[in-house]
Amino acid sequence: MGLKAVHFGGGNIGRGFVAEKLHLAGYEVVFIDVVDSIIEQLQKTKEYTVTEIGGEGEKVNKITNYRAINSKTNEADVVDEISTADLVTCAVGPNILKFIAPVIGKGIDKRTAPKPVAVIACENAIGATDTLAGFIKDSKNTPQDRLSSINDRASFANSAIDRIVPGQDPNAGLNVKIESFYEWVVDKTPFAKEGHPEVSAIKWVDDLNPYIERKLFTVNTGHAAAAYYGHARGKRTIHDALQDSDINKIVYDCLSETSHLIVKKHGISTEEQKAYVEKIVKRISNPYLEDVVERVGRAPLRKLSRKERFVGPASQLAESGDKIDALLGAIEQAFAFLDVKDDEESAELSKILKSTEAKEVVKKVCGLEESHPLFSKIVPIVQKVQETTK
């Protein structure tokens, strides 16, 4: 019997990154989603394409050997698939993990195979698999008398993923356009006993934290900073934004501050980090990605949260008294990303700013306590945005 991966999330990252790499590694992929239209398309279409875009041109991969199940209407089938799978992955968004945990828990509990299923969350969030595992191990999702033996049935490994998926053509269907560069790094320590899954696209490491923070505080920080400043100045794409010399300098200033943290904290050399920054800025500047600033900037509430791309590094730098001027500027632009079309979080942020006192906004949105050294620096930023958006 061949290798089988159950993947939650039929969106662009799911189809264009995770499923692509699993397909190339020889897995049958079983897509799980609750969006009827996506599941129906996957069920009716026997193949789709992933077009990788890079400086050297385009490469097209044809994806086949997949199935699709709607977990909303066919939960029992999903449980059965997980009970016999080699690998379970997801790319659903950090806020959705709690909703997929119950069915994954049931599938894990039904397993009788001697080798545990590997569970890897592929989300833009630190410790996403730990978060998912926490929901799965909740008494509502796993019988407590089975909890002590759950590691016999499942191994949970955190990962760091990095690949830019630009806006797609409106008539693309299941086909996905994606950048050629990617990074998929996974903690191999949970697999010490049984051995990790064979997926050539994955880089297996003993310590994931440096990779997670370097990626989040370089790629995501730079990408979002360019998006928020670009939006404020009427730019259409990230490429357009970074062609503006002022925005370009601001992005480099933000990454200079985060680089200081990364070098100091993780022992990465200054030269290596500088080269990484240059590579990242070149990537996000790619004009062929057609990366629209509103797409990159969407979900500002999540991006302003405690462990995310701005407040995460700024809080650590503030604790050691290091420079954070550029990051504070990016935080201001993120708070000003309001009422953007088709972005629920930007509308919610607007409501919060209109109805909540500045200190409470910083507590609620950024997750900071008044005693934290960053708190007093963000409060006036929020007040300024509130004044200018009255």
Torsional sign, CA 167, 200, 126, 285: negative
Radius of gyration of the chain measured on its C-alpha atoms: 21
Tokens of 260: 């200081």
For 230, the enclosing helix (H) or strand (E) is helix 221-232
The catalytic position among 21, 106, 215, 235 is: 215
Token pair for residue 30?
């079983």
Helix, strand, coil shares, percent, the chain, to 5: 50, 15, 35
Burial class (CB in 10 A: 0-12, 13-18, 19+), 379: buried
Active site residue 359: no
Place of tokens 């599938």: 107
Where does residue 288 rank: exposed (0-12), middle (13-18), buried (19+ CB within 10 A)?
A: middle
Q: CB-based contacts of 174: which residues, under 8 Å, 6+ apart?
A: 15, 41, 42, 45, 48
**CA angle (298 as vertex; 292, 299 as ends), nearest 5:** 165
Residues with Cβ within 8 Å of residue 157, at least 6 apart in sequence = 118, 119, 120, 129, 186, 187, 188, 189, 190, 191, 196
Q: Which residue(s) pair with 117 in the sheet?
A: 154
* Of residues 342, 248, 243, 347, the one with CA closest to residue 295: 342
Residues with active-site annotation: 215
